[in-house]
Chain A
Amino acid sequence: AQSVTQLDSQVPVFEEAPVELRCNYSSSVSVYLFWYVQYPNQGLQLLLKYLSGSTLVKGINGFEAEFNKSQTSFHLRKPSVHISDTAEYFCAVSEIPTDKLIFGTGTRLQVFP
Protein backbone atom coordinates (compact mmCIF):
# COMPACT_ATOMS: atom_id res chain seq x y z
CA ALA A 1 0.00 0.00 0.00
CA GLN A 2 1.10 3.51 -0.69
CA SER A 3 1.25 6.41 1.73
CA VAL A 4 2.13 10.08 1.49
CA THR A 5 3.65 12.27 4.19
CA GLN A 6 3.64 16.03 3.96
CA LEU A 7 6.13 17.09 6.55
CA ASP A 8 4.81 20.59 7.20
CA SER A 9 1.18 21.33 8.02
CA GLN A 10 1.71 25.09 7.66
CA VAL A 11 4.36 27.15 5.89
CA PRO A 12 4.34 30.93 6.44
CA VAL A 13 6.45 32.99 4.04
CA PHE A 14 6.79 36.60 2.94
CA GLU A 15 5.89 37.68 -0.56
CA GLU A 16 8.70 37.29 -3.14
CA ALA A 17 10.57 34.82 -0.93
CA PRO A 18 11.31 31.28 -2.13
CA VAL A 19 9.36 28.37 -0.73
CA GLU A 20 9.67 24.58 -0.55
CA LEU A 21 6.82 22.27 0.43
CA ARG A 22 8.04 18.82 1.35
CA CYS A 23 6.50 15.50 0.37
CA ASN A 24 7.70 11.95 0.99
CA TYR A 25 5.95 8.82 -0.20
CA SER A 26 6.07 5.12 0.43
CA SER A 27 5.26 2.47 -2.15
CA SER A 28 6.46 -1.00 -3.10
CA VAL A 29 5.63 -0.43 -6.77
CA SER A 30 6.16 2.28 -9.35
CA VAL A 31 3.99 5.34 -8.90
CA TYR A 32 2.93 8.54 -10.55
CA LEU A 33 3.32 11.67 -8.42
CA PHE A 34 1.20 14.80 -8.31
CA TRP A 35 0.82 18.16 -6.60
CA TYR A 36 -2.65 19.69 -6.39
CA VAL A 37 -3.66 23.12 -5.07
CA GLN A 38 -6.94 23.91 -3.32
CA TYR A 39 -8.08 27.52 -2.93
CA PRO A 40 -10.72 28.29 -0.27
CA ASN A 41 -14.11 26.78 -1.01
CA GLN A 42 -12.92 25.27 -4.26
CA GLY A 43 -11.99 21.86 -5.63
CA LEU A 44 -8.51 20.64 -6.45
CA GLN A 45 -6.47 21.96 -9.36
CA LEU A 46 -3.49 20.08 -10.76
CA LEU A 47 -0.20 21.99 -10.39
CA LEU A 48 2.15 19.42 -11.88
CA LYS A 49 2.75 15.71 -12.32
CA TYR A 50 5.62 13.27 -12.65
CA LEU A 51 4.97 10.26 -14.84
CA SER A 52 8.43 9.38 -16.14
CA GLY A 53 11.52 10.93 -17.70
CA SER A 54 13.17 14.07 -16.38
CA THR A 55 13.06 14.22 -12.60
CA LEU A 56 12.55 18.00 -12.62
CA VAL A 57 8.96 18.80 -13.46
CA LYS A 58 7.61 22.26 -14.20
CA GLY A 59 4.00 23.15 -13.56
CA ILE A 60 1.62 26.06 -13.65
CA ASN A 61 2.03 29.37 -11.80
CA GLY A 62 5.84 29.06 -11.68
CA PHE A 63 5.92 25.94 -9.50
CA GLU A 64 8.32 23.06 -10.03
CA ALA A 65 9.04 19.79 -8.27
CA GLU A 66 11.87 17.30 -8.24
CA PHE A 67 11.40 13.55 -8.05
CA ASN A 68 14.07 11.82 -5.96
CA LYS A 69 13.64 8.06 -6.16
CA SER A 70 16.36 7.19 -3.67
CA GLN A 71 14.85 9.47 -1.03
CA THR A 72 11.27 8.77 -2.14
CA SER A 73 10.57 12.48 -2.17
CA PHE A 74 8.74 14.90 -4.45
CA HIS A 75 9.26 18.37 -3.01
CA LEU A 76 7.47 21.38 -4.48
CA ARG A 77 9.32 24.67 -4.97
CA LYS A 78 8.74 28.18 -6.17
CA PRO A 79 11.54 30.78 -6.36
CA SER A 80 9.32 33.78 -5.58
CA VAL A 81 5.82 33.52 -4.13
CA HIS A 82 2.88 35.88 -4.50
CA ILE A 83 0.01 36.68 -2.17
CA SER A 84 -2.23 34.79 -4.60
CA ASP A 85 -0.30 31.55 -3.87
CA THR A 86 -1.94 31.38 -0.44
CA ALA A 87 -3.79 28.05 -0.50
CA GLU A 88 -3.70 24.42 0.61
CA TYR A 89 -1.30 22.19 -1.29
CA PHE A 90 -1.68 18.42 -1.54
CA CYS A 91 0.86 15.86 -2.64
CA ALA A 92 -0.57 12.63 -4.09
CA VAL A 93 0.58 9.32 -5.53
CA SER A 94 -1.09 6.75 -7.71
CA GLU A 95 0.04 3.23 -8.28
CA ILE A 96 0.76 2.53 -11.93
CA PRO A 97 -1.43 1.75 -13.88
CA THR A 98 -4.42 2.75 -11.73
CA ASP A 99 -5.66 6.32 -11.29
CA LYS A 100 -6.63 5.96 -7.64
CA LEU A 101 -4.93 8.83 -5.81
CA ILE A 102 -3.57 8.65 -2.27
CA PHE A 103 -3.26 12.12 -0.80
CA GLY A 104 -1.17 13.59 1.95
CA THR A 105 -2.77 15.65 4.70
CA GLY A 106 -1.92 18.93 3.00
CA THR A 107 0.32 21.94 3.62
CA ARG A 108 -1.20 25.34 4.19
CA LEU A 109 0.94 27.97 2.44
CA GLN A 110 0.34 31.44 3.87
CA VAL A 111 2.02 34.29 2.01
CA PHE A 112 2.36 37.60 3.89
CA PRO A 113 2.94 41.03 2.33
Chain B
Amino acid sequence: DAGVTQSPTHLIKTRGQQVTLRCSPKSGHDTVSWYQQALGQGPQFIFQYYEEEERQRGNFPDRFSGHQFPNYSSELNVNALLLGDSALYLCASSLVIANTGELFFGEGSRLTVL
Protein backbone atom coordinates (compact mmCIF):
# COMPACT_ATOMS: atom_id res chain seq x y z
CA ASP B 1 0.00 0.00 0.00
CA ALA B 2 1.77 3.09 -1.26
CA GLY B 3 1.73 6.08 0.99
CA VAL B 4 1.72 9.71 -0.12
CA THR B 5 4.32 10.34 -2.81
CA GLN B 6 5.65 13.73 -3.88
CA SER B 7 7.86 14.91 -6.71
CA PRO B 8 10.36 16.35 -7.17
CA THR B 9 12.13 15.90 -3.84
CA HIS B 10 14.41 18.89 -4.35
CA LEU B 11 14.48 21.76 -6.79
CA ILE B 12 16.15 25.12 -7.24
CA LYS B 13 14.51 28.08 -8.97
CA THR B 14 15.28 31.76 -9.37
CA ARG B 15 13.11 34.71 -8.39
CA GLY B 16 10.25 35.34 -10.78
CA GLN B 17 10.10 31.79 -12.09
CA GLN B 18 7.18 29.42 -11.75
CA VAL B 19 7.17 25.97 -10.15
CA THR B 20 4.86 22.95 -10.17
CA LEU B 21 4.93 20.33 -7.42
CA ARG B 22 3.12 17.02 -7.66
CA CYS B 23 1.45 14.71 -5.17
CA SER B 24 -0.15 11.27 -5.30
CA PRO B 25 -2.35 10.54 -2.28
CA LYS B 26 -2.39 7.38 -0.23
CA SER B 27 -4.41 4.63 -1.88
CA GLY B 28 -8.11 5.05 -1.10
CA HIS B 29 -7.86 8.70 -0.09
CA ASP B 30 -9.86 11.39 -1.89
CA THR B 31 -8.69 14.63 -0.30
CA VAL B 32 -5.34 16.37 -0.72
CA SER B 33 -3.99 19.22 1.38
CA TRP B 34 -0.84 21.27 0.85
CA TYR B 35 1.32 22.81 3.56
CA GLN B 36 4.35 25.10 3.49
CA GLN B 37 7.04 24.53 6.14
CA ALA B 38 9.65 27.27 6.33
CA LEU B 39 12.93 26.45 8.03
CA GLY B 40 12.48 26.15 11.79
CA GLN B 41 8.71 26.60 11.61
CA GLY B 42 5.63 24.44 11.79
CA PRO B 43 3.72 23.64 8.60
CA GLN B 44 1.29 26.30 7.39
CA PHE B 45 -1.93 25.31 5.59
CA ILE B 46 -2.05 26.47 1.96
CA PHE B 47 -5.22 24.82 0.62
CA GLN B 48 -7.19 21.60 0.33
CA TYR B 49 -8.75 19.88 -2.66
CA TYR B 50 -11.70 17.50 -2.75
CA GLU B 51 -13.67 16.36 -5.80
CA GLU B 52 -11.36 18.47 -7.98
CA GLU B 53 -12.44 21.67 -6.21
CA GLU B 54 -10.59 23.89 -3.74
CA ARG B 55 -12.41 23.19 -0.51
CA GLN B 56 -10.51 25.35 1.97
CA ARG B 57 -7.74 27.92 1.65
CA GLY B 58 -5.25 29.36 4.09
CA ASN B 59 -3.74 32.82 4.14
CA PHE B 60 -1.63 32.55 1.00
CA PRO B 61 -1.64 34.90 -2.02
CA ASP B 62 -3.15 34.04 -5.38
CA ARG B 63 0.34 33.23 -6.68
CA PHE B 64 -0.30 29.87 -5.03
CA SER B 65 -2.76 27.76 -7.00
CA GLY B 66 -3.59 24.13 -7.26
CA HIS B 67 -5.40 21.43 -9.07
CA GLN B 68 -6.79 18.00 -8.34
CA PHE B 69 -7.20 15.40 -11.05
CA PRO B 70 -9.89 12.71 -11.40
CA ASN B 71 -7.47 10.11 -9.99
CA TYR B 72 -7.19 12.31 -6.84
CA SER B 73 -3.57 13.33 -7.50
CA SER B 74 -2.79 16.99 -7.13
CA GLU B 75 -0.47 19.77 -8.22
CA LEU B 76 0.67 22.90 -6.43
CA ASN B 77 1.71 25.81 -8.64
CA VAL B 78 3.56 28.88 -7.45
CA ASN B 79 4.03 31.83 -9.81
CA ALA B 80 6.41 34.78 -9.61
CA LEU B 81 8.61 33.08 -7.03
CA LEU B 82 10.01 35.12 -4.17
CA LEU B 83 12.98 34.35 -1.96
CA GLY B 84 10.50 33.85 0.89
CA ASP B 85 8.87 30.97 -0.96
CA SER B 86 11.89 28.81 -0.13
CA ALA B 87 10.50 26.03 2.04
CA LEU B 88 9.56 22.39 2.34
CA TYR B 89 6.20 21.84 0.68
CA LEU B 90 4.25 18.99 2.20
CA CYS B 91 1.33 17.17 0.68
CA ALA B 92 -1.11 15.33 2.91
CA SER B 93 -4.01 13.07 2.05
CA SER B 94 -7.13 11.99 3.89
CA LEU B 95 -10.51 10.39 3.41
CA VAL B 96 -13.31 12.88 3.78
CA ILE B 97 -15.88 10.44 5.15
CA ALA B 98 -13.52 9.33 7.90
CA ASN B 99 -13.96 12.74 9.54
CA THR B 100 -11.13 12.17 11.98
CA GLY B 101 -8.91 15.05 10.96
CA GLU B 102 -6.04 12.60 10.52
CA LEU B 103 -3.70 13.40 7.65
CA PHE B 104 -1.04 11.22 6.04
CA PHE B 105 1.98 13.22 4.89
CA GLY B 106 4.48 12.74 2.12
CA GLU B 107 8.16 13.45 2.57
CA GLY B 108 7.90 16.81 0.88
CA SER B 109 9.41 18.81 -1.93
CA ARG B 110 12.19 21.14 -0.86
CA LEU B 111 12.14 24.33 -2.92
CA THR B 112 15.05 26.75 -2.90
CA VAL B 113 14.57 30.13 -4.55
CA LEU B 114 17.75 32.04 -5.43
Task: Write the residues of chain A forming the contact surface with B, with a CB cutoff of 8 angstroms.
Answer: 4, 32, 34, 36, 41-46, 49, 51, 90, 92, 94, 96-106
Contact = CB atoms under 8 A, between A and B. Distances in A.
B71 interface: no
15 contacts: A32-B101, A34-B101, A41-B107, A42-B108, A43-B107, A46-B102, A46-B103, A49-B100, A90-B42, A90-B43, A99-B31, A99-B103, A101-B43, A101-B45, A101-B103
B45 A100 contact: yes
Interface of B: 4, 31, 33, 35, 40-45, 48, 56, 58, 90, 92, 94, 96, 99-108
B107 A99 contact: no
Contacts of A49: 100-102
Contacts of B58: 100
Contacts, number: 69
Nearest to A9: B40
B107 A42 contact: yes
Contacts of A106: 40-42
B42 A34 contact: no
A88 B101 CA distance: 21
A43 B106 contact: yes
A41 B108 CA distance: 9
B101 A103 contact: no
A98 B56 contact: yes
Given A105-B42, A106-B42, A99 B101 contact: yes
Contacts of A97: 99
A42 to B, nearest CB: 5
Given A51-B101, A100-B33, A101-B43, 10 more contacts: A34-B101, A43-B107, A43-B108, A46-B103, A46-B104, A96-B101, A99-B100, A101-B35, A101-B103, A105-B42
Nearest to A93: B101
Given A99-B31, A100-B33, A100-B56, A44 B101 contact: no
Given A43-B106, A44-B90, A102 B101 contact: no
B87 to A, nearest CB: 13
Nearest to A95: B101
